[in-house]
Amino acid sequence: MSKKLKIGVFGFGVVGSGLAHVLKNSKGLDASIVRVCVKDAGKIRDIDPDLITVNPDDILNDPEINVVVELIDDADAAYQIVKTAMQNGKHVVSANKKMLAYHIEELIQLQWKYKVSFLYEASACGSIPIIRNLEEYYDNDLLQSVSGVLNGSSNYILTKIFNENLDYNLALKEAQDLGFAESDPTSDVGGFDTLYKLIILTVHGFGLFVHPDEVFNAGIANLSPKDIELASQKGYKIRLLGKVTKVNGNHVNLFVAPKFVKPQEHAYTVESHYNGVLIQGNFYDNQFMYGKGAGSHPTGSAVLSDITALAYDYKYEYKKLKYYGGLEYTNDMDVEIYLRYTDKNDLALFNFKEISESLIAKDFNYVIGTLNLSELIKIRKQIEGKDIFLAYLGEE
């Protein structure tokens, strides 16, 4: 492709404005934003108003624009934009992890069909170049697991709770005020944002497509002072963890849950809106990557990295998909969990194989025990909306 990049951007919120700022301060890259599509043309933005449009076709059908950068919140609309852009022969950069989690298999096929690049480093872990590393450095079958703190918003909340004894709701509001969490925080605190990122990492780490509905995910919305007190008494912190791991040779498992993190574990040191990713494999042992996972400039910088890569005709090679394959998804594995509950009937829903610790008190009931992850999948609809909190106690 031409080294001169003419960019059409969809969305000019936190990430879009961050991209414009870092692009303006990036020397040596012949790239410029020539059009920005937004919903509200009347809103004041720090960009030339002549570049603004509300008509997607002004970007998608413009032959001069050779790169489309998609930075909107609506996953369904993002899918249509990305798909049409590729069909029109344009290279695409996206940060939309939900859209990718549900459509990544189809979109990979489309980029191959239309011979364009589709890059999305900013969709997972903000400023940490995890996708590129899984593609290029860990491009073999030695990888055993990828885990860590993948959501900066929830991590900011948990840091405030454990470091400053801040109430959950106050910590959430502070995260929202700073732009780390959305006005509707469900995706962040419910573990969905982490889940979507984990699915993307699984494609690049293990060459496996997993539908979000197949994966168990739990969040931190029901975290109570009692959970915090118990974790602190044991010398732990709580972090929202996502983990994909190879089990039993040719199977792969994903899950997302809060975790009781020990001081010697990598996630224990990941604080504020930072992300931390632990990569484990045969022979190279543990490797840890750390960086900002939320915010305008970190995510904007990740988008810029993809745009820069396009100037050199970079494409993901998907080596795991092409050459290694043969892996299957499973939820058949035992996990150790902490379960805090109010109603004893809720406890009966959990088919524990073994209970190692339990407490029944006037205002605090919990058990720590082992059960099969497939059992959690079966009851996840039944436990929605109940006054319970679940956390993982196994290895990170």
Residues annotated as part of the active site: 197
| Three-class SS state of 207 | coil
Orientation of helix 97-113 relative to helix 75-87, angle to 10°:
10
| CB of 241 closer than 8 Å to CB of 146 | no
Cα four-point dihedral sign 125, 157, 216, 102: negative
List the one residue out of 210, 12, 203, 13 whose CA is nearest residue 124.
Answer: 203
Report d(CA 50, CA 58) in Å as an integer: 13
Specify the DSSP element, H or E, that contains 270. none
SS3 of 310-335:
HCCCCCCCCHHHHHHCCCEECCCCEE
Report d(CA 152, CA 170) in Å as an integer: 17
Report d(CA 293, CA 127) in Å as an integer: 6
Strand locations in 103-226 (E): 118-119, 143-149, 216-217
Cα four-point dihedral sign 197, 321, 131, 66: negative
Cα four-point dihedral sign 219, 223, 227, 233: positive
| CB of 340 closer than 8 Å to CB of 365 | yes
